Copies of this chain bind each other. A is one copy, B any other.
Amino acid sequence: MISEWLDASTLWMILDFIGSLAFAVSGIRLSSAKNFDVFGAYVVGLATAAGGGTIRDVLLGEHPYWMSSPAYLVSTGLALLMVWIWGGKLIRKVNTWFIFDTIGLAVFTVSGTAKTLALGWPWWTAVMMGTMTGAAGGVVRDILIGEVPLIFRKEIYASACIIGSLVYIIITCMFGNVVGRMGQIGGMETGATIIAGAVVIAVRLIAVKYQISLPHLHGEDDK
């Protein structure tokens, strides 16, 4: 891809690291605003970054990724340091963090979907797991800081995960057999990953730019 020395899996790790860093920063910022101490901020940061993947892995009967690799612990520690040192300056770069956060959403959604499919689960389970991997960390964060989860009320956020996850599944299902016979499953999956990830990012960017949001129901009598 990009160059000889940067292969697909290395690029993927970098994007995953950027994403988990952005997720952790969002948890650390919001918990610090609630007067949490550094330990509390670290825990909330970690829960934001690793919470979605942890719930997915528990449901899949797998051990969470962070139990055998310290990557999330390190990226959350780095996020804590960054907020500690740069504080307000860091926060003002709203657009940068928005991009990083959206990259995380895309990477997490696609990896959750792919992992679930690889374990042989049906497509609807893969969509749920992909969406949880991307969006459940933010729900855990909001519960820990005592807020009603933001993604249930605002923004096309989880919807971007659902659409991206479906795109991934459709591509791999439709072209899986054809490409499989040509011995290029790896290449096909890389293609599905890039397209599905781009869809997640595009849906979110468009939704925020045009302030598109989902309709609201009125479950109780409207007064």
Contact = CB atoms under 8 A, between A and B. Distances in A.
A167 interface: no
A4 interface: no
Contact of A39 (B33, B84, B214, B221): B214
A183 interface: no
B58 A219 contact: no
Total copies of this chain within the assembly:
3
Interface string A49-92: 00000100011110110111010010000001001100110011
A38 interface: yes
A67 B73 contact: no
Contact of A217 (B41, B43, B66, B92): B41
For the residues of A in contact with B, the DSSP-based class is: helix
A105 interface: no
Contact of A37 (B31, B87, B152): B152
Q: For this complex, into which size category does the number of interface residues on chain A fall? A: 35 or more
Interface in A121-155: 121-122, 124-125, 128, 139, 143-149, 151-154
Contacts of A31: 152, 219
Contact of A152 (B44, B91, B148, B218): B44
A151 B219 contact: no
Contacts of A92: 221
Nearest to A146: B148
B39 A152 contact: yes
Among A80, A122, A218: residue with most chain B CB under 10 A: A218
6 contacts: A28-B217, A32-B218, A32-B220, A37-B216, A83-B219, A87-B217
4 closest A-B pairs by CB: A40-B152, A32-B219, A29-B219, A37-B214
